[in-house]
Amino acid sequence: MAKLKVLTVVGTRPQYVKAAAVSRILRRAHDEILVDTGQHYDFNMSDVFIRELEIPPPDHNLGVGSAGHAEQTARIMLALEPIVQSARPDAVLVYGDTNSTLAGALVAAKLGVRLAHVEAGLRSFNWAMPEEINRVLTDSAADLLFCPTNSAVDNLRLEGVVEGVHNTGDVMLDTLQRFLPRAEETSRLPGELNVGAGSYILVTLHRPANVDDLQRLAALLDVLARLEERVVFPVHPRTRSSLAEMGYEAASNLTLIDPVGYLDMLWLEKNARRIVTDSGGVQKEAYLLGVPCVTARAETEWTETVDAGWNTLAGDEPERIVEAVLQPVPAGERPPVFGDGHAADRIVELLS
């Protein structure tokens, strides 16, 4: 097996979680150049993940920071292109559906470098989501499409894409399995927040459709305030800006905290009575940990979790969250739709 040079592009919170699994296996046999775009830059949105997930220090940090879609994507491309040109990697590896993903994909495709996309084939069929645009465009440029689920493979087939498509399983399961024991041993959050198993609802919200629209966000907060139990809510910086703009003062049952590191988050997820979220990663982790989830969206890319009865879509009516969190724990099994925790091994093998 020839030794490859792979250039990996990360830059946001969920991408560190995904890359942690692949980088570890990849570096056993190949060379990796890790490029952090700097799309996320607060300590608890970036460095905490690099540290906790034992990701090697990035070789380049492009430091692009926050900006509108065109500017952010363009800044990444401008800074990334000369790095790819001088490194001449055998493949560029991108993850998920962020602006960092799309920028990496466009640079690789235009330079004629083999492009591999981890988390290919996901679709919400909602073109108003910036992520949907990023996914479709990245998949159309990719040579290797690593799908986490069967439905992702089906989505690509319906678009006529079959070559280079592989169901590898989901790399987020690899990372979860590796770090859950450490999360359970080390998290200090239960003491700091005075929470125990099953004593709270965990909430995360960061989708523009929920949090940039202040009326929508106010309606969601109102519903959370009416849940007659403790709510723990690590607040994404996008959401924090909207809360500041609203001059929001937390209701008495709501504990708003800064975003937490991965290990604390796994602890919070595992021990929550229910999870309410609009995050893709958190929906999956809820399923994997066996915690019933309510998704504050009208649709999801992770349809298997809904089909199995462990994820409820609240749709456009925040009110539906109230009844959904009171439903009993689903009786159904949780089939292993995200694979076996060895997605990264398969990805590295297919890259070679």
Nearer to ligand UD1, 131 or 285 (CB): 131
C-alpha span between 352 and 74 (Å, rounded): 30
What's the closest the beta carbon of residue 347 comes to ligand UDP, in angstroms?
Answer: 18
Count of residues engaged in binding ligand UDP, rule: CB under 6 A:
16
C-alpha span between 57 and 30 (Å, rounded): 16
User: Which residue stretch of 61-69, 87-95, 255-263, 330-338 sits at the interface with ligand UDP (rule: CB under 6 A)?
Assistant: 255-263
Nearer to ligand UD1, 39 or 303 (CB): 39
What's the closest the beta carbon of residue 16 comes to ligand UD1, in angstroms?
Answer: 10
Task: Give the Å distances, CA to CA, from 86 to 91, 95, 109, 206, 234.
Answer: 13, 22, 16, 36, 40
Residue 116: CA count within 13 A, CB half-sphere: 24
Q: Is 206 a catalytic residue?
A: yes
Q: Which residues of 136-163 are buried (b: 16+ CB within 10 A; e: fewer)?
A: bbbbebbebbbbbbebbbebbeeeebee
Nearer to ligand UDP, 185 or 333 (CB): 185
What's the closest the beta carbon of residue 252 comes to ligand UD1, in angstroms?
Answer: 27
Partner that binds at residue 265, options ligand UDP, ligand UD1, none, CB closer than 5 to 8 Å by kind: ligand UDP
Binding mask 260-289 for ligand UDP (x = CB under 6 A): xxx--x-------------xxxx--x----
Q: Which residue, 303, 280, 301, 270, is CA-closest to 13?
A: 280
Report the site for ligand UD1 in 29-68 (rule: CB under 6 A).
39-42, 45, 66
Task: Give the Å distances, CA to CA, from 331 to 29, 48, 234, 275, 305.
Answer: 43, 36, 29, 17, 13
Partner that binds at residue 39, options ligand UDP, ligand UD1, none, CB closer than 5 to 8 Å by kind: ligand UD1
Report the site for ligand UDP in 96-155 (rule: CB under 6 A).
none
Q: Which residues contact 200 (CB under 8 A, 6 or more apart)?
A: 229, 230, 231, 232, 255, 272, 273
Partner that binds at residue 241, options ligand UDP, ligand UD1, none, CB closer than 5 to 8 Å by kind: ligand UD1
3-state secondary structure of 104: helix
Partner that binds at residue 238, options ligand UDP, ligand UD1, none, CB closer than 5 to 8 Å by kind: ligand UD1
Q: Residue 101: left if φ>0, alpha if ψ -120 to 50, beta else—which one?
A: alpha
Q: Which residue, 57, 61, 53, 56, is CA-closest to 11?
A: 61
Q: Per CB under 6 A, does 14 bind ligand UD1?
A: yes
C-alpha span between 348 and 337 (Å, rounded): 20
Binding mask 1-20 for ligand UDP (x = CB under 6 A): ------------xx--x---
Contacts with ligand UDP, residue ranges (CB under 6 A)? 13-14, 17, 204, 206, 234, 259-262, 265, 279-282, 285
Positions in the binding site for ligand UD1 (CB under 6 A): 12-14, 39-42, 45, 66, 97-99, 130-131, 206, 237-238, 241
